[in-house]
Chains A and B, each alone.
Chain A
């Protein structure tokens, strides 16, 4: 039995496919900004409590509970006003290979993000919010900028929003092409006008973030989902998905499928159903499936057998030794040279290492070159073990999670497709 398809009133992003007007008129017609005033008149701690109960988890890859993250931010008390300004920063530096959901939010429903920023800034006592958009999203950020200007005009942004006494300014900050700036502290560095090199944690951004002030960084999708969660009864969001994984989520399905698509669907949907119901199925049929990357290039791939049974949520994918990540599903059928794809992904990480930590700067390059050699059939089977050992020596020994994300796909390849590498090495020897 398959899950029902979401109706527009069940969705956080009813215009994700771009069928309707992306401007403020279209957004208001879909119910946007309705009830915003009431939200700005409710105490922030009530909102944060509701977010905790909704078990909304960060949509940017790590899956950290959003309500909890927001509760780390300092709140003013009557006898203790805040001494530093707080900031909300939206991470729209979407760059994980396979991930393309934020781009469609920015160009087809930018006001969902603008409204989320207003509510978010209010909850976190931030007067200013920055949206860090990757520099390549030029036309998309043109639309986002226009959406912000429309919101100012309509009185949803600026001083004394809708007469509630809340002040919020939102600015778009364009990046310049560095995958690492999607890491939250690298993003802050970049926003401060520096090279995007991650900071050591602790201190965490909630205590010492942008300009040394309390800062929360959230993904586009996370922030945009906040207003509908707060406006609707709790049940509206929690009825989807398994406990601890509730809600709806945008899945980006690309690769060897009939209709690659960005689609909002309930969490915990079976992977097979997602691909067959929404993306037209695997090219050549389900039996032609070779492997699936479930959550962007950093997550280890699933083999066909795992793909048939796994549910798409944080906990189910973790149990399979991988992760939901950004829910960017890259499908590879049997006609695809899987080793070439994985080598290309290694090349990507080699190119994008920020160069700060030695294990990553040097090691990711070694791994890439080893993958190149091995997938070309050069080398010996002993080098496969060497490669695995190498990934284990890089993983967990750097400031940020970049190197981990670069090693996991290689480990996944060795785990599920060692036979492919071995048979290629044997052929290489024969030739």
Chain B
């Protein structure tokens, strides 16, 4: 978006070449695609683009390679550029690989007032990262400062996205709780007991059974 002029290399991400991964959808993804497409008028399958990008991101390691975007383009019968322009527009689509757990700390007004500085400091200290957008050398964590996530009455808060899918809110944070969440993520790969909202049984992306 507007940062293109300043940091073209960084914000557009990757080389425009495919990696030769030769990707294909899993069985479960295929049936999810069938049910997703059924939600829109037959001649309007492009509407399923964002849902399919979510699905692809989860299928292929938490980011969208050129190959993954090409697969989505082929599935919907769209030119690659139509997929790429959408994937690069929305912040939730990652055009570069991230760590296993993407730690996103809100630092917008309500969280800032209620002490997001302390949370950012704690995340940096625990992970050893020094600025937003970095990933740890062991590939465990990526840290990003993000915009308002809509949990302002439970500020400060952060969101964790797992590369295998699943996005959880962690609210009413302090330094200690943040440390415990990060510890649990590193040791057990999840921190569900700290999560703010236990999900229901339906998966938001595939609409099948909830995938952790």
Interface, chain A (partner B; CB < 8 A): 94-100, 102-103, 107, 134-143, 145-146, 149, 171-179, 190-196, 211, 252-256, 260-262, 293, 297, 328, 330-332, 336, 340-341, 344-345, 348, 350-355, 361-362, 364-365
**Measured between C-beta atoms, what is the minimum distance from B49 to chain A in Å?**
4
Which listed residue, B46, B91, B107, touches A176 by the CB 8 Å rule? B91
B112 close to chain A: CB less than 8 A: yes
Selected A-B contacts with CB under 8 Å, 28 pairs: A94-B150, A97-B147, A97-B148, A98-B152, A100-B154, A107-B197, A135-B90, A135-B92, A138-B199, A139-B196, A141-B204, A143-B197, A145-B207, A173-B50, A174-B205, A177-B93, A192-B47, A193-B49, A211-B41, A260-B153, A261-B153, A344-B112, A350-B2, A351-B147, A352-B147, A354-B1, A355-B4, A362-B2
Complex formed: what's the CA distance from A193 to B41 in Å? 13
Residue with the highest number of chain B CB atoms closer than 10 Å, among A146, A176, A179: A176
Q: Given that A100-B150, A255-B113 are known contacts, is A344 also in contact with B203, CB under 8 Å in the complex?
A: no
- B177-212, CB < 8 A from A: 195-205, 207, 210
The 8 A CB mask of B106-123 against A (1 = contact, 0 = none) is 011110111000000000
B44 close to chain A: CB less than 8 A: yes
B138 close to chain A: CB less than 8 A: no
Q: Contact: B167 with A98, CB < 8 Å?
A: no
Does more than half of chain A's interface fall in helix, strand or loop, or is it mixed? mixed
Q: Contact: B85 with A195, CB < 8 Å?
A: yes
Q: Given that A100-B150, A142-B200, A176-B92 are known contacts, is A340 also in contact with B167, CB under 8 Å in the complex?
A: no
**Measured between C-beta atoms, what is the minimum distance from B191 to chain A in Å?**
13
Complex formed: what's the CA distance from A321 to B153 in Å? 25
Complex formed: what's the CA distance from A94 to B204 in Å? 17
Query: Which A residues are CB-close (under 8 A) to B203?
Result: 142, 145
The 8 A CB mask of B145-184 against A (1 = contact, 0 = none) is 0011111111100010000001111000000000000000
Query: Which A residues are CB-close (under 8 A) to B47?
Result: 173, 191-193
B54 close to chain A: CB less than 8 A: yes
Q: Contact: B1 with A97, CB < 8 Å?
A: no
Q: Contact: B148 with A98, CB < 8 Å?
A: yes
Q: Contact: B2 with A355, CB < 8 Å?
A: yes
Q: Given that A96-B148, A145-B200 are known contacts, is A255 also in contact with B110, CB under 8 Å in the complex?
A: yes
Complex formed: what's the CA distance from A176 to B39 in Å? 18
**Measured between C-beta atoms, what is the minimum distance from B12 to chain A in Å?**
13
Q: Contact: A97 with B89, CB < 8 Å?
A: no
Q: Contact: A348 with B49, CB < 8 Å?
A: no
Which listed residue, B86, B112, B153, B167, touches A193 by the CB 8 Å rule? B86
Complex formed: what's the CA distance from A352 to B206 in Å? 28
Complex formed: what's the CA distance from A353 to B89 in Å? 11
B53 close to chain A: CB less than 8 A: yes
CB closest chain-B residue, reference A147? B200
Q: Contact: A103 with B151, CB < 8 Å?
A: yes
Q: Contact: A255 with B204, CB < 8 Å?
A: no
**Measured between C-beta atoms, what is the minimum distance from A157 to chain B in Å?**
13
Interface, chain B (partner A; CB < 8 A): 1-4, 39, 41, 44, 46-51, 53-54, 76, 82, 85-86, 89-93, 107-110, 112-114, 147-155, 159, 166-169, 195-205, 207, 210
Query: Which B residues are CB-close (under 8 A) to A145?
Result: 200, 202-204, 207
Query: Which A residues are CB-close (under 8 A) to B199?
Result: 138-139, 142-143
Query: Which B residues are CB-close (under 8 A) to A134?
Result: 150
Complex formed: what's the CA distance from A196 to B91 in Å? 12
Q: Contact: A98 with B147, CB < 8 Å?
A: no
Q: Contact: A95 with B148, CB < 8 Å?
A: yes
Closest 6 A-B residue pairs measured CB to CB? A193-B49, A176-B90, A193-B46, A146-B200, A138-B167, A177-B92
Complex formed: what's the CA distance from A97 to B44 in Å? 33
**Measured between C-beta atoms, what is the minimum distance from B133 to chain A in Å?**
13
Residue with the highest number of chain B CB atoms closer than 10 Å, among A95, A97, A365: A97
Q: Contact: A179 with B44, CB < 8 Å?
A: no
Complex formed: what's the CA distance from A410 to B51 in Å? 36
Complex formed: what's the CA distance from A328 to B2 in Å? 27
Query: Which A residues are CB-close (under 8 A) to B92?
Result: 135-136, 176-177
**Measured between C-beta atoms, what is the minimum distance from A200 to chain B in Å?**
19
Complex formed: what's the CA distance from A96 to B110 in Å? 11
Query: Which A residues are CB-close (under 8 A) to B153?
Result: 100, 252-254, 260-262
**Measured between C-beta atoms, what is the minimum distance from B178 to chain A in Å?**
18
Q: Contact: B109 with A97, CB < 8 Å?
A: yes
Q: Contact: A103 with B148, CB < 8 Å?
A: no
Complex formed: what's the CA distance from A253 to B153 in Å? 6
Complex formed: what's the CA distance from A350 to B2 in Å? 7
Assuming A145-B207, A177-B93, what are 17 further A-B pairs, CB within 8 angstroms?
A97-B110, A97-B147, A102-B150, A139-B198, A142-B203, A174-B50, A193-B46, A193-B49, A195-B89, A196-B90, A211-B44, A255-B114, A328-B152, A330-B109, A332-B113, A348-B147, A354-B1
Q: Contact: A341 with B204, CB < 8 Å?
A: no
Q: Contact: A341 with B93, CB < 8 Å?
A: no
